[in-house]
Amino acid sequence: MDTYRAIVTKRDTRVYDGRPIPEEVLTRILNAGRMAGSAKAAQPVRLIVVREQARKEALAACGRFTPHVPAAAAVVALVLVPEADQPPGQFAIFRGPFDAGRAAQNIMLAAWEEGITSCPASTHDNDGAAKVLGLPPGHVVANLIALGYPGGADPVTGNRPRMALDGYAHFETWPA
Amino acid sequence: MDTYRAIVTKRDTRVYDGRPIPEEVLTRILNAGRMAGSAKAAQPVRLIVVREQARKEALAACGRFTPHVPAAAAVVALVLVPEADQPPGQFAIFRGPFDAGRAAQNIMLAAWEEGITSCPASTHDNDGAAKVLGLPPGHVVANLIALGYPGGADPVTGNRPRMALDGYAHFETWPA
Protein backbone atom coordinates (compact mmCIF):
# COMPACT_ATOMS: atom_id res chain seq x y z
CA MET A 1 0.00 0.00 0.00
CA ASP A 2 1.48 3.38 -0.82
CA THR A 3 2.36 5.50 2.16
CA TYR A 4 -0.13 8.30 1.66
CA ARG A 5 -2.97 5.83 1.20
CA ALA A 6 -2.01 4.01 4.40
CA ILE A 7 -1.91 7.33 6.25
CA VAL A 8 -5.26 8.67 5.12
CA THR A 9 -7.17 5.39 5.38
CA LYS A 10 -5.87 4.34 8.80
CA ARG A 11 -8.46 4.61 11.54
CA ASP A 12 -8.11 3.78 15.22
CA THR A 13 -10.49 0.87 15.60
CA ARG A 14 -11.32 -1.40 18.52
CA VAL A 15 -12.97 -4.53 17.15
CA TYR A 16 -10.74 -7.50 16.34
CA ASP A 17 -11.53 -10.90 14.90
CA GLY A 18 -9.34 -12.99 17.21
CA ARG A 19 -6.86 -14.22 14.62
CA PRO A 20 -3.25 -14.19 15.84
CA ILE A 21 -0.63 -12.09 14.08
CA PRO A 22 1.98 -14.27 12.34
CA GLU A 23 5.44 -13.90 13.87
CA GLU A 24 7.08 -12.54 10.72
CA VAL A 25 4.36 -9.89 10.40
CA LEU A 26 4.73 -8.94 14.04
CA THR A 27 8.49 -8.62 13.62
CA ARG A 28 7.96 -6.27 10.70
CA ILE A 29 5.58 -4.16 12.76
CA LEU A 30 7.98 -3.96 15.72
CA ASN A 31 10.80 -3.07 13.37
CA ALA A 32 8.76 -0.16 12.04
CA GLY A 33 8.66 1.22 15.58
CA ARG A 34 12.37 0.70 16.01
CA MET A 35 13.14 2.78 12.94
CA ALA A 36 11.34 5.89 14.19
CA GLY A 37 13.68 8.78 14.82
CA SER A 38 14.01 10.40 18.24
CA ALA A 39 15.16 13.73 19.61
CA LYS A 40 18.95 13.86 19.87
CA ALA A 41 18.84 10.19 18.77
CA ALA A 42 18.24 9.36 22.42
CA GLN A 43 16.08 6.34 21.49
CA PRO A 44 14.00 6.60 24.69
CA VAL A 45 11.30 4.15 23.55
CA ARG A 46 11.14 0.41 24.12
CA LEU A 47 8.34 -2.01 23.32
CA ILE A 48 6.80 -4.84 25.29
CA VAL A 49 4.53 -7.13 23.32
CA VAL A 50 1.80 -8.70 25.44
CA ARG A 51 -0.21 -11.67 24.15
CA GLU A 52 -0.98 -13.64 27.32
CA GLN A 53 -4.65 -13.17 28.09
CA ALA A 54 -4.28 -12.52 31.82
CA ARG A 55 -1.64 -9.88 31.21
CA LYS A 56 -3.71 -8.14 28.53
CA GLU A 57 -6.56 -8.00 31.03
CA ALA A 58 -4.29 -6.68 33.76
CA LEU A 59 -3.07 -3.92 31.44
CA ALA A 60 -6.64 -3.08 30.44
CA ALA A 61 -7.46 -2.64 34.13
CA CYS A 62 -4.89 0.19 34.24
CA GLY A 63 -6.78 2.37 31.75
CA ARG A 64 -10.19 3.98 31.71
CA PHE A 65 -10.97 3.47 28.01
CA THR A 66 -9.63 0.00 27.40
CA PRO A 67 -12.52 -2.45 26.85
CA HIS A 68 -11.01 -3.38 23.48
CA VAL A 69 -7.57 -4.23 24.88
CA PRO A 70 -8.15 -7.83 26.10
CA ALA A 71 -9.48 -8.88 22.66
CA ALA A 72 -6.45 -7.58 20.78
CA ALA A 73 -4.23 -10.18 19.12
CA ALA A 74 -1.28 -8.34 20.64
CA VAL A 75 -0.91 -5.32 22.86
CA VAL A 76 2.26 -3.29 22.38
CA ALA A 77 3.25 -1.21 25.39
CA LEU A 78 5.40 1.79 24.52
CA VAL A 79 7.81 2.23 27.42
CA LEU A 80 9.90 5.34 28.02
CA VAL A 81 13.26 4.69 29.60
CA PRO A 82 14.82 7.43 31.74
CA GLU A 83 16.87 9.79 29.62
CA ALA A 84 20.48 10.38 30.52
CA ASP A 85 20.10 14.16 30.52
CA GLN A 86 16.97 14.15 32.68
CA PRO A 87 16.56 13.56 36.41
CA PRO A 88 15.70 9.93 37.24
CA GLY A 89 12.14 9.12 36.32
CA GLN A 90 11.70 12.39 34.44
CA PHE A 91 11.16 12.89 30.75
CA ALA A 92 11.40 16.05 28.72
CA ILE A 93 7.75 17.02 28.92
CA PHE A 94 7.17 16.97 25.19
CA ARG A 95 10.13 14.99 23.91
CA GLY A 96 9.61 11.49 25.27
CA PRO A 97 5.89 11.24 24.56
CA PHE A 98 6.42 12.91 21.18
CA ASP A 99 8.99 10.26 20.26
CA ALA A 100 6.64 7.55 21.52
CA GLY A 101 3.94 8.98 19.26
CA ARG A 102 6.30 8.82 16.30
CA ALA A 103 7.08 5.14 17.01
CA ALA A 104 3.40 4.38 17.59
CA GLN A 105 2.40 5.84 14.25
CA ASN A 106 5.09 3.83 12.46
CA ILE A 107 3.82 0.69 14.19
CA MET A 108 0.19 1.38 13.35
CA LEU A 109 0.87 2.28 9.72
CA ALA A 110 3.06 -0.78 9.15
CA ALA A 111 0.31 -2.88 10.75
CA TRP A 112 -2.35 -1.28 8.59
CA GLU A 113 -0.38 -2.07 5.45
CA GLU A 114 -0.56 -5.71 6.61
CA GLY A 115 -4.34 -5.47 7.07
CA ILE A 116 -4.09 -5.14 10.85
CA THR A 117 -6.02 -2.40 12.58
CA SER A 118 -5.07 -0.76 15.86
CA CYS A 119 -6.03 1.66 18.57
CA PRO A 120 -3.89 3.35 21.22
CA ALA A 121 -5.01 3.35 24.84
CA SER A 122 -3.72 5.40 27.74
CA THR A 123 -2.79 3.78 31.04
CA HIS A 124 -4.19 6.22 33.55
CA ASP A 125 -2.75 4.05 36.33
CA ASN A 126 0.86 4.27 35.25
CA ASP A 127 2.23 2.65 38.38
CA GLY A 128 -0.11 -0.28 37.91
CA ALA A 129 0.91 -0.75 34.29
CA ALA A 130 4.59 -0.59 35.23
CA LYS A 131 3.98 -3.33 37.77
CA VAL A 132 2.13 -5.56 35.29
CA LEU A 133 5.07 -5.30 32.91
CA GLY A 134 7.78 -5.57 35.56
CA LEU A 135 9.37 -2.24 34.62
CA PRO A 136 12.47 -1.06 36.47
CA PRO A 137 12.15 2.14 38.54
CA GLY A 138 11.96 5.31 36.47
CA HIS A 139 10.48 3.56 33.43
CA VAL A 140 6.96 4.50 32.39
CA VAL A 141 4.30 3.29 29.99
CA ALA A 142 3.61 6.13 27.54
CA ASN A 143 0.77 4.30 25.83
CA LEU A 144 -0.57 0.93 24.76
CA ILE A 145 -1.38 -0.05 21.19
CA ALA A 146 -3.97 -2.76 20.63
CA LEU A 147 -3.39 -4.63 17.36
CA GLY A 148 -5.65 -7.12 15.58
CA TYR A 149 -7.26 -8.09 12.32
CA PRO A 150 -10.47 -6.09 11.88
CA GLY A 151 -13.53 -7.71 13.39
CA GLY A 152 -16.30 -5.36 12.34
CA ALA A 153 -17.54 -1.83 12.75
CA ASP A 154 -16.17 0.11 15.69
CA PRO A 155 -18.96 1.05 18.12
CA VAL A 156 -17.00 4.02 19.49
CA THR A 157 -15.34 5.74 16.59
CA GLY A 158 -17.14 4.54 13.49
CA ASN A 159 -15.32 6.43 10.81
CA ARG A 160 -14.78 9.49 12.95
CA PRO A 161 -14.46 12.55 10.74
CA ARG A 162 -11.57 14.96 10.99
CA MET A 163 -11.76 18.74 11.09
CA ALA A 164 -11.38 20.44 7.70
CA LEU A 165 -7.88 21.22 6.48
CA ASP A 166 -8.46 24.98 6.54
CA GLY A 167 -9.16 24.84 10.27
CA TYR A 168 -6.25 22.49 10.92
CA ALA A 169 -3.41 24.15 9.02
CA HIS A 170 -2.58 27.84 9.01
CA PHE A 171 0.13 29.91 7.36
CA GLU A 172 2.82 32.04 8.99
CA THR A 173 0.83 32.89 12.13
CA TRP A 174 -2.23 31.85 14.06
CA PRO A 175 -5.27 33.26 12.26
CA ALA A 176 -6.50 36.57 13.62
CA MET B 1 6.58 4.08 -2.13
CA ASP B 2 5.14 1.29 -0.01
CA THR B 3 4.51 2.17 3.59
CA TYR B 4 7.05 -0.12 5.21
CA ARG B 5 9.77 1.06 2.87
CA ALA B 6 8.98 4.71 3.65
CA ILE B 7 9.08 3.93 7.36
CA VAL B 8 12.40 2.10 7.41
CA THR B 9 14.23 4.39 4.97
CA LYS B 10 13.13 7.70 6.51
CA ARG B 11 15.92 9.49 8.33
CA ASP B 12 15.77 12.82 10.14
CA THR B 13 18.09 14.97 8.02
CA ARG B 14 19.03 18.62 8.19
CA VAL B 15 20.49 19.59 4.81
CA TYR B 16 18.11 21.00 2.19
CA ASP B 17 18.71 22.14 -1.37
CA GLY B 18 16.63 25.30 -1.28
CA ARG B 19 13.93 24.22 -3.75
CA PRO B 20 10.43 25.24 -2.67
CA ILE B 21 7.75 22.62 -2.07
CA PRO B 22 4.96 22.81 -4.68
CA GLU B 23 1.64 23.83 -3.19
CA GLU B 24 -0.16 20.61 -4.09
CA VAL B 25 2.60 18.55 -2.49
CA LEU B 26 2.49 20.68 0.64
CA THR B 27 -1.27 20.28 0.84
CA ARG B 28 -0.88 16.50 0.68
CA ILE B 29 1.70 16.59 3.47
CA LEU B 30 -0.50 18.77 5.70
CA ASN B 31 -3.44 16.50 5.03
CA ALA B 32 -1.39 13.52 6.22
CA GLY B 33 -1.00 15.29 9.55
CA ARG B 34 -4.70 16.06 9.69
CA MET B 35 -5.61 12.39 9.30
CA ALA B 36 -3.63 11.25 12.34
CA GLY B 37 -5.84 9.89 15.09
CA SER B 38 -5.89 11.42 18.56
CA ALA B 39 -6.84 10.30 22.05
CA LYS B 40 -10.60 10.54 22.57
CA ALA B 41 -10.68 12.11 19.08
CA ALA B 42 -9.86 15.38 20.81
CA GLN B 43 -7.87 16.60 17.79
CA PRO B 44 -5.58 18.79 19.92
CA VAL B 45 -3.03 19.44 17.16
CA ARG B 46 -2.94 22.33 14.70
CA LEU B 47 -0.28 23.22 12.17
CA ILE B 48 1.29 26.53 11.23
CA VAL B 49 3.37 26.47 8.06
CA VAL B 50 6.18 29.02 8.07
CA ARG B 51 8.01 29.94 4.86
CA GLU B 52 8.94 33.60 5.40
CA GLN B 53 12.66 33.77 6.00
CA ALA B 54 12.56 36.14 8.97
CA ARG B 55 9.96 34.04 10.73
CA LYS B 56 11.90 30.81 10.15
CA GLU B 57 14.91 32.50 11.72
CA ALA B 58 12.88 33.78 14.64
CA LEU B 59 11.59 30.25 15.29
CA ALA B 60 15.11 28.83 15.03
CA ALA B 61 16.19 31.30 17.71
CA CYS B 62 13.70 29.60 20.09
CA GLY B 63 15.50 26.25 19.98
CA ARG B 64 18.94 25.05 20.94
CA PHE B 65 19.47 22.58 18.07
CA THR B 66 17.98 24.44 15.16
CA PRO B 67 20.76 25.54 12.76
CA HIS B 68 18.98 23.67 9.96
CA VAL B 69 15.63 25.39 10.46
CA PRO B 70 16.18 28.63 8.51
CA ALA B 71 17.25 26.71 5.37
CA ALA B 72 14.13 24.51 5.34
CA ALA B 73 11.73 25.05 2.44
CA ALA B 74 8.95 25.07 5.00
CA VAL B 75 8.81 24.77 8.77
CA VAL B 76 5.69 23.18 10.19
CA ALA B 77 4.96 24.11 13.78
CA LEU B 78 2.84 21.55 15.61
CA VAL B 79 0.64 23.51 17.99
CA LEU B 80 -1.30 21.98 20.88
CA VAL B 81 -4.57 23.70 21.65
CA PRO B 82 -5.91 23.56 25.20
CA GLU B 83 -8.04 20.48 25.72
CA ALA B 84 -11.56 20.90 26.98
CA ASP B 85 -11.04 18.41 29.80
CA GLN B 86 -7.78 19.95 31.00
CA PRO B 87 -7.15 23.15 32.96
CA PRO B 88 -6.35 26.12 30.69
CA GLY B 89 -2.86 25.82 29.24
CA GLN B 90 -2.45 22.26 30.50
CA PHE B 91 -2.17 19.11 28.44
CA ALA B 92 -2.41 15.51 29.53
CA ILE B 93 1.28 14.94 30.13
CA PHE B 94 1.59 12.16 27.61
CA ARG B 95 -1.50 12.56 25.51
CA GLY B 96 -1.01 15.88 23.70
CA PRO B 97 2.65 15.39 22.80
CA PHE B 98 1.94 11.77 21.88
CA ASP B 99 -0.76 12.89 19.46
CA ALA B 100 1.60 15.55 18.09
CA GLY B 101 4.18 12.81 17.50
CA ARG B 102 1.62 10.77 15.60
CA ALA B 103 0.78 13.73 13.36
CA ALA B 104 4.46 14.56 12.92
CA GLN B 105 5.28 11.06 11.76
CA ASN B 106 2.42 11.11 9.26
CA ILE B 107 3.69 14.44 7.93
CA MET B 108 7.29 13.25 7.66
CA LEU B 109 6.39 9.94 6.01
CA ALA B 110 4.08 11.60 3.49
CA ALA B 111 6.87 14.08 2.76
CA TRP B 112 9.43 11.34 2.37
CA GLU B 113 7.23 9.54 -0.13
CA GLU B 114 7.38 12.80 -2.13
CA GLY B 115 11.18 12.87 -1.90
CA ILE B 116 11.20 15.52 0.83
CA THR B 117 13.32 14.97 3.91
CA SER B 118 12.63 16.37 7.35
CA CYS B 119 13.85 16.79 10.87
CA PRO B 120 11.94 17.77 14.02
CA ALA B 121 13.30 20.46 16.31
CA SER B 122 12.26 21.33 19.83
CA THR B 123 11.50 24.91 20.83
CA HIS B 124 13.15 25.14 24.22
CA ASP B 125 11.84 28.71 24.49
CA ASN B 126 8.17 27.87 24.19
CA ASP B 127 6.96 31.31 25.12
CA GLY B 128 9.18 32.82 22.44
CA ALA B 129 7.90 30.42 19.80
CA ALA B 130 4.31 31.15 20.77
CA LYS B 131 4.98 34.85 20.33
CA VAL B 132 6.60 34.38 16.91
CA LEU B 133 3.52 32.50 15.74
CA GLY B 134 0.99 34.76 17.45
CA LEU B 135 -0.56 31.92 19.43
CA PRO B 136 -3.49 32.64 21.75
CA PRO B 137 -2.95 32.09 25.49
CA GLY B 138 -2.78 28.45 26.51
CA HIS B 139 -1.58 27.24 23.12
CA VAL B 140 1.90 25.76 22.92
CA VAL B 141 4.35 24.65 20.23
CA ALA B 142 4.96 20.93 20.74
CA ASN B 143 7.62 20.74 18.05
CA LEU B 144 8.79 22.10 14.73
CA ILE B 145 9.33 20.04 11.61
CA ALA B 146 11.80 21.33 9.03
CA LEU B 147 10.95 20.10 5.52
CA GLY B 148 13.00 20.32 2.34
CA TYR B 149 14.37 18.47 -0.64
CA PRO B 150 17.61 16.73 0.37
CA GLY B 151 20.70 18.83 -0.11
CA GLY B 152 23.47 16.40 0.79
CA ALA B 153 24.84 14.36 3.65
CA ASP B 154 23.73 15.34 7.13
CA PRO B 155 26.71 16.48 9.22
CA VAL B 156 24.95 15.63 12.49
CA THR B 157 23.16 12.37 12.01
CA GLY B 158 24.69 10.76 8.96
CA ASN B 159 22.77 7.55 8.75
CA ARG B 160 22.43 7.16 12.49
CA PRO B 161 22.06 3.49 13.37
CA ARG B 162 19.27 2.19 15.57
CA MET B 163 19.57 -0.23 18.46
CA ALA B 164 19.02 -3.89 17.56
CA LEU B 165 15.48 -5.22 17.60
CA ASP B 166 16.18 -7.66 20.43
CA GLY B 167 17.12 -4.77 22.72
CA TYR B 168 14.20 -2.66 21.56
CA ALA B 169 11.28 -5.09 21.74
CA HIS B 170 10.56 -7.48 24.59
CA PHE B 171 7.80 -10.00 25.24
CA GLU B 172 5.30 -10.09 28.10
CA THR B 173 7.51 -8.36 30.67
CA TRP B 174 10.65 -6.30 30.94
CA PRO B 175 13.63 -8.68 30.61
CA ALA B 176 15.02 -9.87 33.91
Residue to mutate among B108, B157, B174, with most A CBs inside 10 A, is B174
Residue in A55, A73, A70 with CA at minimum distance from that of residue A17 = A73
Max CA separation in chain B (angstroms): 52
pLDDT reading at A91 higher than 70: no
pLDDT for the residue A138: 87
Residues A105, B106 contacting (CB under 8 angstroms): yes
Average pLDDT over chain A, rounded to an integer: 92
- pLDDT, greater one: B158 or A149: A149
Contact A112, A9 (CB under 8 A): yes
Q: Is the pLDDT of residue A30 over 80?
A: yes
Q: What is the mean pLDDT of residues A2-26?
A: 96
Regarding an ipTM greater than 0.90, the answer is yes
| Per-residue model confidence as pLDDT tens digits over A61-89 | 999 999 999 999 999 999 999 876 565 55
Residue A139 touches chain B, beta carbons under 8 Å: yes
Neighbour count for residue B8 (Cβ, 10 Å): 17
Residues A23-44, mean pLDDT to the nearest whole number: 95
DSSP-assigned beta bridge partners for residue B49: A171, B76
User: Which pLDDT value is given to residue A159?
Assistant: 64
Instruction: Give how far Cα A19 sits from Cα of A15, A72, A86, A146, Å.
Output: 12, 9, 41, 13
**Alpha-carbon span A92 to A162, nearest angstrom:** 29
A162 contacts chain B (CB < 8 A): yes
pLDDT (average), residues B112-141: 95
pLDDT reported for residue A104: 98
Per-domain residue ranges for chain B?
3-155
> Chain A contact for B79, CB < 8 A?
yes
Contacts of A106 in chain B (CB under 8 A): 7, 105, 109
**Confidence at residue A62, expressed as pLDDT on a 0 to 100 scale:** 96
CATH topology of domain B3-155: NADH Oxidase (3.40.109)
